[in-house]
Structures are given as C-alpha cells and as structure tokens.
Amino acid sequence: MKLKDPRTIAVVMSSALVLLIGVLVVQHLRHGWPFSLHHGIGVTLPTTRVAARDGGSTPTTHPRAEVEIAQEQLDAIGVRFEKVRQETLSEPIRAVATVVPDESRVSHVHTRVSGWIERLQVNTTGERVRAGQPLAGIFSQELLASQTEYLSARRAAATGPRSAVVEGSRSRLKVLGMTDGEIRAIEESGEPRRLVTVTAPRSGVVLHRGISVGTAVDPSTEIVTVADLSRVWVLAEVSEGDIPSVQIGTPARLEFPASGREPFEERVEFLYPTLSERTRTLRVRFMVENRSGTLRPGIYGSATFRVEPRPTLTVSRDAIVDTGSTQHVFVVAGERRFIPRTVTLGTRFDQRVEVREGLAEGDSIVASGVFLIDSESRLRASGGGTGHAHGSSKQESRGTDREAPGKSQQVTPPPRQPDAGHGAQPPVPPPSGHAGH
C-alpha cells in the first residue's frame, strides 16, 4: 500500500523517530552504547602523585594510568614481585678502547709560497721520516724573484754602508720559508736556487700525503702529515650510565690482544666534555708510551675500570619499561593495584640495574610480566578502558556466579549501582529455567 496522504507520512516518521530515541535511551541506561556519557566510568586519571625520596610528594603526569588487575589474570600471565634492595656496587666497568695518534705530536706540512712540486722524496704513506729530512722540492716564481732581489741588494751594499734593503730582503726570504742554511748557500754561490726544499718538522710516520710530482700547490695545500707515534692516546667509550663512576685519575687495565703487548695499567688523563650523539658514550683518554710501536692507531682493545665500592639501589632489569625517552616501573600500591612511576637509571649489569631516583629501599614493584600490565595501563590512560576494571568486585562476582555447563541453578546478579542523574535502576528479575538454555 502506498502512502500518499501527507498526514499519514508524518505520523509514520514521528513513530520511527520516537522508536529510535527509545532505543538510544535504553542503550544509554544499560551502559552498552559506545557514545554513552557513562562509558568509561571507573578509569583512573593518568595523573598520579609520585612519592619523593625525601618523603614528600610531587605531582607527575604519566602517559600511563593506575591499573587494577584480577588475581586470576596475574597468575595467568606469571606476574612476579620483588622488593627494591640496596647493594654494594663494586663490579668493574668495561669499555671498548681504540688507539689514536697523540694530537699534540701531529704536524701538517704546508708551503708558504705558490708553485709546483718538481721533486718528491716521500713517495708512500706510512714511510718513516726524520726531523729535517727533505720531503719535496718546489719551484716558485715568487720565491725565485725574492732571491734575485736579495742578491742584487747585497751586491749593491758591498761597496757602501749596509743598507736596510738587504735586511728587509733577507727577512722576506725567511718569511717565505727559506732556512738560514739555504740563505747562506745562495750568499756563498751568488746564484738563486730554482727549487726550494720542504723539510720534515719532526721525526715520525707519514700519515697522509696529499701531493705528487707536478701538483700545483699554495699555502692552503697540505703536502704531508707527520705523526710521532712514540706516544699515543687510548680512547675508551664509557656508556652513559657509567659516567659518574669514572673520574680523572681512575685506574684502568688496558688490553690490546692484536698488538702482542701484555695488558698494562694506566690512569684516566682526560674526560671529554661532550657525549657522542650516535653511541651515547663519553670518550675517556689515556696517554700511553709506545716506544716499540706495537700500539698502532686504529687497533681495538678493551679498558676495565676499577671503581670504588658504593651502596646503591638496584632492581631487576625485567622490571624496567624503557620507552626510549623515559623509564618507569610499576609499584604495588595495594592488593592488585599498580601505579606507574618514572625512575632515573644508572649502571646496568647482566641481571640488575641501578636506580638513582624514583624508588626507595623496600618498595614493592612488578619484576616480571610488566609489559602486559603496561599495555593495560596505557589503554586506561588513553580512555580506552571499559566501565569496569579488571579484577573489580563486579567482575569477580559475575565470574563466580556463572554456573558450570550442564548444572542447573539460579543465578542472581548483583544489584546495579545507581547512575548519576538518572536515579536507581530497577532490579533485573532472575532468569527461570536451567542455565545454558
């Protein structure tokens, strides 16, 4: 039958609207509708108060909320508890060590004039040189003209009083890199030298050679790099948590098996002021004599620091939830109640970890199964929890009142708590008949 009367259509639409509103109200009162204002009642706010170590309390906001879990669930996931205890920290600190050249014994050789490399005495990297040994011969038009000018001024002054021009020309040759011996040589010969020799400033090993025959050079060109390796540095990478235990003067045992040298003892000479961003470690420096040359730059070894024993609080490593930016544990606040608490960690061991802030001796924490509790805590903090908490009295009573399959008994549900603003709800009549039918 087609409805053509406008009044009939209006009546049908009004009835449908009233029916829809009635369904929404019923779902709202039963706490089953997703958009109900009461959906999520019972979720603990994510802001908790963390007890300070001095006995006071400081409000701290966590991305996690206090959570309460039934004992049956705790047994199912294998939750284990432990007490925060104080231990004496005396385990040595181990770090990776590397040999590098002593920066105070590295020389970079440059020329003071522009020119071209015409002769090269050092042909390979790694070659040993002596202080004053010729490295390269450079032809420079500027230096050749300065020598000619000096010799002309010197000849002109030979028949008269000594002129300031001669002294100025001689000083110019020294500024351009000529030694006193080279200047005396051209004075004796009366002829300028076509090539100027570049010599090694110290004895050592050529670490880098940046030129070859025919290379055009200027004062910015690095000809060679010479390093004296009779004394080297050893750099150890100390992890971030172990930094407070290492100071200047801390003894350490250095081992470099690939060098063939026996392990030896040294003391920390210097702590670098910054950490490596990539490895989050602090570089610690030792100065080591290397007369035999067995400690070659780049070789790897290990450094074992002996630290003074000190008392500290420790917990199991499995108790820590590390988010990358923060670390926290779950403190047992009561029967089946767990509160997230941010902690500051120190030295890490195989099974234990040092806690510097956030806990006190004797605090009870979750030692295993913590990640399942953490997941539930994050769910509660995000507002995704249900209207009842896991382990609440409602769920326990419902779980115990459910009868086993195949048995016949009446089930009397617990009375519903009254909703705010809606008055008390009428009790639900008990079902008749056998359970399960």
**In the listed set 308, 323, 349, which residue is the last one of a domain according to the structure?**
308
Residues 212 and 278 in one domain: no
Q: Which two tokens mark 14?
A: 């009004």
SS3 content of the chain, % helix, strand, coil (to 5): 25, 35, 40
The pLDDT, as a whole number, for residue 427 is 47
| Higher per-residue pLDDT: 206 or 11 | 206
Number of domains making up the chain? 3
Residue 133 near residue 121 (C-beta atoms within 8 A): yes
Q: What number is the average pLDDT over the span 115-127? A: 91
**In the listed set 179, 196, 220, which residue is the last one of a domain according to the structure?**
220
Task: Judge whether 388 lies within some domain.
Answer: no
Task: Judge whether 389 lies within some domain.
Answer: no
| Average model confidence (pLDDT) across the chain | 79
| Residue whose structure tokens are 């959906």 | 39
Task: Judge whether 74 lies within some domain.
Answer: yes
Please give the C-alpha separations between residue 111 and each of 108, 114, 192, 217, 224, in angstroms, as whole numbers. Answer: 10, 8, 18, 8, 10
Residues 121 and 206 in one domain: yes
**In the listed set 308, 325, 341, which residue is the last one of a domain according to the structure?**
308
3-state secondary structure of 239: strand
pLDDT > 50? residue 397: no
Report which DSSP code applies to 421.
Answer: T
Residues 98 and 247 in one domain: yes
| Higher per-residue pLDDT: 364 or 404 | 364
Residue 303 near residue 267 (C-beta atoms within 8 A): no
The tens digit of pLDDT for each residue in 211-262 reads 899 999 999 999 999 999 999 999 999 998 788 889 999 999 999 999 999 9
Task: Judge whether 10 lies within some domain.
Answer: no
Residues 187 and 335 in one domain: no
Residue 97 near residue 301 (C-beta atoms within 8 A): yes
Percentage of residues in the chain with pLDDT exceeding 90?
34
Provide the residue type at 91 as one letter: E
Task: Judge whether 34 lies within some domain.
Answer: no
CATH of the domain at 261: 2.40.30.170
Residue 219 near residue 113 (C-beta atoms within 8 A): yes
Residues 235 and 299 in one domain: yes
Q: Mean pLDDT lowest for which of 58-67, 131-140, 191-200, 321-330? A: 58-67
Single out the residue of 48, 56, 77 nearest to residue 331, CA to CA.
Answer: 48
User: What is the band of 55 on the pLDDT scale with cuts at 50, 70, 90?
Assistant: very low
Distance CA 236, CA 244 (A): 15
pTM (predicted TM-score): 0.57
Residues 183 and 248 in one domain: no
Q: Which two tokens mark 372?
A: 């399942």
The tens digit of pLDDT for each residue in 95-104 reads 999 999 999 9
Residues 207 and 248 in one domain: no
Residues 187 and 235 in one domain: no
Task: Judge whether 394 lies within some domain.
Answer: no
Q: Which two tokens mark 152?
A: 């002309």
Task: Judge whether 82 lies within some domain.
Answer: yes
Top-ranked range on mean pLDDT: pick from 34-43, 79-88, 391-400: 79-88
The pLDDT, as a whole number, for residue 4 is 61
The tens digit of pLDDT for each residue in 2-49 reads 556 788 888 888 888 888 888 787 776 665 545 544 444 444 444 444
The radius of gyration of the chain's CA atoms, rounded to the nearest angstrom, is 42
Task: Judge whether 371 lies within some domain.
Answer: yes
| Higher per-residue pLDDT: 290 or 13 | 290
Distance CA 390, CA 71 (A): 9
pLDDT > 90? residue 161: no
User: What is the band of 384 on the pLDDT scale with cuts at 50, 70, 90?
Assistant: low
Say if residue 189 is exposed, middle or buried (CB neighbours under 10 Å; 0-12, 13-18, 19+).
exposed
Residues 140 and 204 in one domain: yes
The tens digit of pLDDT for each residue in 129-154 reads 999 899 999 999 999 999 999 888 88
The domain in which residue 278 lies consists of 93-102+229-308
Q: What number is the average pLDDT over the span 425-433? A: 45
Residues 191 and 269 in one domain: no
CATH of the domain at 346: 2.40.420.20
Residues 190 and 143 in one domain: yes
The tens digit of pLDDT for each residue in 319-361 reads 999 888 889 899 998 878 899 999 998 877 778 888 988 999 9
Provide the residue type at 45 as one letter: L
- List, in order, residues 6 or more apart from 81 with CB less than 8 Å away: 332, 364, 365, 366, 367
Residues 119 and 188 in one domain: yes
The pLDDT, as a whole number, for residue 200 is 92
